[in-house]
Amino acid sequence: MIPLRKNIAEMAGYVPGFQPKNPQEWIKLNTNENPYPPSPQVIEAIMREIGSDGEILRQYPDAASKDARQAAADLYGFDADWLIMANGSDELLNNLIRAFANEGDEVAYVEPSYSYYSTLIEIQGAKSHTFTLDDQYKLAGFPERYNGKLFFLTSPNAPLGCAFSLDDIDDLAHRCNGMLVVDEAYADFAAENALSLVKKHENLVVTRTFSKSYALAGMRLGLAVAHPQVIAALDKIRDHYHLDRLALVAAEAALRDQKYLKQRVGEICATRDWFTGQLIALGYSVIPSQTNFVFASPADGDGQRVYELLKQHKILVRYFSDPQLSHALRISIGSREQMDAVLEVLERNC
Ligand SMILES: *Cc1c(COP(=O)(O)O)cnc(C)c1O
């Protein structure tokens, strides 16, 4: 017998979104990747860092991510000690649990939202609690005071695409005795974000990813904004060289090219709003989205049927067998041409 910890031996492990073997043969709208390349400044920065011979790669990267951290601080209007960079926002979610929850402590998240929270909670040996949403997509049954060590609120929500209001988030921060983590993976596509609330609540953490809006899922980059004492704790427990040299220069260049970000986000939001209208014309119900995907249900409420249909046409979208979600599909917003291809299949088979 290999002497594993009991909760590790018993847990299933996270299953990431399907990545096909020959991605170029597919229209891939299942993991909310960006259809456009990252900023040309990012490519330039990476090339510059590698140089002609890659000699620099002998040397360890900056353990403090100083330049990237400063670029984020400048952008969001915080001092640098309110910010930490990360190897994907997944690293932050993991380290937040490690920093705040002992074995057996309660950690909460919304169902439906990002299923990785429950995996991370299992690894820590903490206890999961879930809150559900009512038919207005507002939190149902959240107590006047919540005593769990952490509450992960995905806003805008994935896979639904709708956002919680700032008033609601403000109120939740008051009601949480533990930490409120607002996972803002999709905030760049949304009308508002919770950054202004971070200065007001020392128990509020905002996490961001470069995987969606910045088109850098392959670089593994994220960041968090929180009170300096929270950031100092996250700084203590991370791997010291968690970001490689190429990721660091990519992050800094991406953050400093907001013009490019805004242009691409604008294109994706325009495609999203147009695509939503087209789906509604085909009889789908679509939740108004503040993200780079839509959650859309066909008139017969059979998500799996449409998933299989699109798959036959080499189009991959996300279907969830969970009975709460199986009536619909999560479709990432690709280029206008890719969404036209989706509509063409759906028009012939609605
Ligand atoms: C994509 C996503 C993440 C993961 O981001 P990475 O930076 O790629 O680790 C976290 N939370 C939500 C809600 C996401 O959709």
> What confidence tens digit (pLDDT) does each residue in 213-263 have?
999 999 999 999 999 999 999 999 999 999 999 999 999 999 999 999 999
Report whether residue 183 contacts ligand 1, using a CB cutoff of 6 Å. Answer: yes
Pair (201, 278) in one structural domain: no
Pair (24, 82) in one structural domain: no
Helix (H) or strand (E) holding 232: helix 228-237
Pair (289, 177) in one structural domain: no
Q: Residue 16: which of 247, 258, 217 has the closest Cα?
A: 217
Residue 1 lies in a domain: no
Residue where a domain stops, chosen among 224, 257, 290: 257
Pair (216, 116) in one structural domain: yes
Report whether residue 185 contacts ligand 1, using a CB cutoff of 6 Å. Answer: yes
Residue 164 lies in a domain: yes
Residue 156 lies in a domain: yes
Residue 282 has pLDDT above 80, yes or no: yes
CB of 177 closer than 8 Å to CB of 146 = yes
Report whether residue 88 contacts ligand 1, using a CB cutoff of 6 Å. Answer: yes
C-alpha–C-alpha distance, residues 92 and 223, integer Å: 8
| CATH number of the domain within which 275 lies | 3.90.1150.10
| CATH number of the domain within which 146 lies | 3.40.640.10
Pair (186, 213) in one structural domain: yes
| Residue identifier of the C-alpha nearest atom 12 of ligand 1 | 185
Residue where a domain stops, chosen among 230, 257, 284: 257
Pair (18, 79) in one structural domain: no
Span 302-324, mean pLDDT?
Answer: 97
- pLDDT top residue among 15 and 294: 294
Show the domain range for 156: 40-257
Span 153-163, mean pLDDT?
Answer: 98
Report whether residue 34 contacts ligand 1, using a CB cutoff of 6 Å. Answer: no
Q: What is the mean pLDDT of the chain?
A: 97
Span 270-297, mean pLDDT?
Answer: 98
Report whether residue 110 contacts ligand 1, using a CB cutoff of 6 Å. Answer: no
Residue where a domain stops, chosen among 202, 225, 257: 257
Residue 216 lies in a domain: yes
Pair (88, 237) in one structural domain: yes
Pair (236, 297) in one structural domain: no
HEC string for 41-105? HHHHHHHHHHCCCCHHHHCCCCCCCHHHHHHHHHHHCCCHHHEEEECCHHHHHHHHHHHHCCCCC
Pair (195, 144) in one structural domain: yes
CA of 128 to the centre of ligand 1 (A): 19
C-alpha–C-alpha distance, residues 239 and 255, integer Å: 23
Residue 137 lies in a domain: yes
Tell me if the bond preceding 3 is cis, omega within 30° of 0.
no
Residue 51 has pLDDT above 70, yes or no: yes
Joined together, the tokens standing for residue 216 give 């850098």
Pair (56, 186) in one structural domain: yes
Joined together, the tokens standing for residue 29 give 């709208």
Secondary structure class of 131 (helix, strand, coil): strand
Joined together, the tokens standing for residue 61 give 């990267």
pLDDT at 86: 98
Q: Residue 283: which of 298, 303, 265, 295 has the closest Cα?
A: 298
CB of 294 closer than 8 Å to CB of 279 = yes
Pair (175, 108) in one structural domain: yes
Interaxial angle between packed helices 228-237 and 89-100, expressed in degrees from 0 to 180 and rounded to the nearest 10: 100
Joined together, the tokens standing for residue 308 give 């299989």
- How far is C-alpha 263 from the geometric centre of its chain's CA atoms? 20
Span 27-37, mean pLDDT?
Answer: 97
Report whether residue 158 contacts ligand 1, using a CB cutoff of 6 Å. Answer: yes
Which amino acid is it at 171?
A: D
CB of 246 closer than 8 Å to CB of 49 = yes
CA of 185 to the centre of ligand 1 (A): 6
Residue 350 has pLDDT above 80, yes or no: no
Question: Based on the structure, what is the number of domains in the chain?
Answer: 2
The predicted-structure confidence for 167-203, as pLDDT tens digits, reads as follows: 999 999 999 999 999 999 999 999 999 999 999 999 9
Pair (305, 213) in one structural domain: no
Residue 340 has pLDDT above 90, yes or no: yes
